[in-house]
Amino acid sequence: MGDMAQSPLMSQAPIRILLVDDHSVVRMGLAAILGLDEGLSVVGEAEDGTQALEKFKAEKPDIVLMDVRMPGVSGIEALRALRTACPAARVVMLTTSELDEDIQQAIAAGACGYLPKSVKREELSKAIRHVHGGGHYVPEAMARRLEQLARRRHLSAREIEVLDGMRRGLSNRDIATALSISEHTVKAHVKAILQKLESADRAEAVARGFEHGLLKVERP
């Protein structure tokens, strides 16, 4: 009976979390939200990728919540460095960016999860626990898009050049002249682009080109 009295049911230690975001207000908000869950504990904060590596080594957190877009060392670069230094690191990218290119790069770099900052508290806690348990977590909508991208063949370098010409509103003849190829070849490329990007017309192909990170917005 004495042995039983000395063996109370012990609660599990909280999951230790490192927050990485260049906006202090965002970190404060995340810390407050996570603090509502007794099973989660924020043990450190970092405002850029370089600081994230230092804090990770010092705190050895269970989970890292990291923004993709940060000045200096980006979240993707920090993720790669972190996974190289500690392959077992469990990182969830929490960001405003839902560009396919960012999602693909994050997953390829070793992210265990990818969540928009608009995520609800319940789903954030669920994702953290799932990743902590050894799994990967991506919202259903993002997962479907990744599956579509995996099935879709990549555009060749020449096709991206043709797509860029389409973006600029050039005719097939103008694109042919600019790239020093025949108009017939341009037509073949346009047809392939529409098929690969599952687009009904040139305008939709260009829109999907931006959506998938194949085209970049030109800044003056």
Q: How confident is the model at residue 220 (pLDDT cuts 50, 70, 90)?
A: low
Tell me the per-residue pLDDT of 101-157, one tens digit each, with 9 for 90 and over. 788 888 889 999 999 888 999 999 999 999 999 999 998 888 887 777 665 657 888
**C-alpha span between 83 and 89 (Å, rounded):** 6
Residue 86's identity, in one-letter code, is C
Residue 107 buriedness (CB in 10 A; 0-12 / 13-18 / 19+): middle
Q: Are strands 91-95 and 40-46 parallel, antiparallel or unpaired?
A: unpaired
Residue 143's identity, in one-letter code, is A
**C-alpha span between 24 and 192 (Å, rounded):** 46
pLDDT at residue 11, rounded to an integer = 56
pLDDT at residue 2, rounded to an integer = 43
pLDDT at residue 188, rounded to an integer = 96
- State pTM to two decimals: 0.65
Q: Tell me the domains of the chain and their CATH numbers.
A: 15-149 (3.40.50.2300), 152-211 (1.10.10.10)
Q: What residues contact 208, with CB distance under 8 A and at least 6 apart? A: 197, 198, 199
